[in-house]
Structure 1
Amino acid sequence: MADVDAAKSLSGLLNGIAQKLYYNKSDVTEELLQRELYAHLSREEFRSLHERMRGLLKSIAAADMDHAQLEAFLTAQTRRQGGGGLTVEQAAALSRFWRSQRVRVRESLLAQSRWEPGLRGLSWRVDIRTAAAGGRGEADPGGPVALMELELGQAGQDSQFVCLEFDEAKVNQLLKKMSDIQESIDGIAHRT
């Protein structure tokens, strides 16, 4: 009976950690979890257990471990020497938890990593203005103009549209900035 209670408490702890980390439930606190699940442990004992489970769960989620990776990871954790390892029961609870929550945690991590509003679509074209259309004070009334329409939106909301107009000089500036950004990204990617 004690093993069943221990398994339920650990399952509750893992769910509580996931609620706070991945599902934005700020009312799930470390103190609440201790009071409800591990009242018999000292504050330090609980904090140690909580941090260990939190760290393991974050590692598993960050790697988005499949079943084989998870089993290898948990086996390695149970074989660790010196008090930092897992018991077989803890490994089983982590395995059960991850199998049931993997998809939901992954979706939450993806949602947290998106910028809002996001770019839903982009369309563009290049027009040539005629002399008759250039009467609005443009320097080159007959020159090319690039028109770009951005479709922006947040999840669950209607799109908003932004229309941008660029002359040849502005297009060249934009291309230069994009080239600079690409060089910066390449520099960072090659350093790591």
Structure 2
Amino acid sequence: MTAIVLVRGDITRQRADAIVNAANSSLLGGGGVDGAVHRRGGPAILAECRALRASRYGRGLPTGRAVATTAGNLDARWVIHTVGPVYEGPDSDPAPLASCYRESLRVADELGARTVVFPAISTGVYRWPMDDAARIAVETVRITPTAVEEVRFALFDDRAYEAFVRCLGPEGAG
């Protein structure tokens, strides 16, 4: 069974086999988590992302999909990039957001990763409501078959942390 752990803090400061990047489809960096991962991880991540764009993802990484690169200077072996959906209102389909977590775990399994750290995908500039995003994240990780031993959610602020605590319960807080 996969342990789910919550921590407050900067995802780029986490030690794990894989860190999940809430990327944009270009894979070339951006703001929020994506920009932080690229800045702290250094040029090796961008170089591999450019190679992916030149080969398999000429039009960008589709929403809900995931792909891995080196972690560069991060304290991890890999970065798993996934593109979350933009929230369009109460009728937004949660399936692409759940797919980000499932696909990231699938890639982690292919890599042999045992510890994976996720951010709260789509909750920044993509505007997904934090409580709903936390519910989707926790439920999806709980039901997705995986060999990953620990999924850690690195949550940048108190609002995100508390939303995940409400979904997971205090036993996951770390």
Decide which structure has greater helix share.
1
What TM-score do the two structures reach when normalised by structure 2? 0.29
Q: Normalising by the residue count of structure 1, what TM-score does the alignment of the two structures yield? A: 0.27
Higher RCO structure, 1 or 2 (CA under 8 Å, sep 6+): 2
Query: Which structure would you say has the larger Rg?
Result: 1
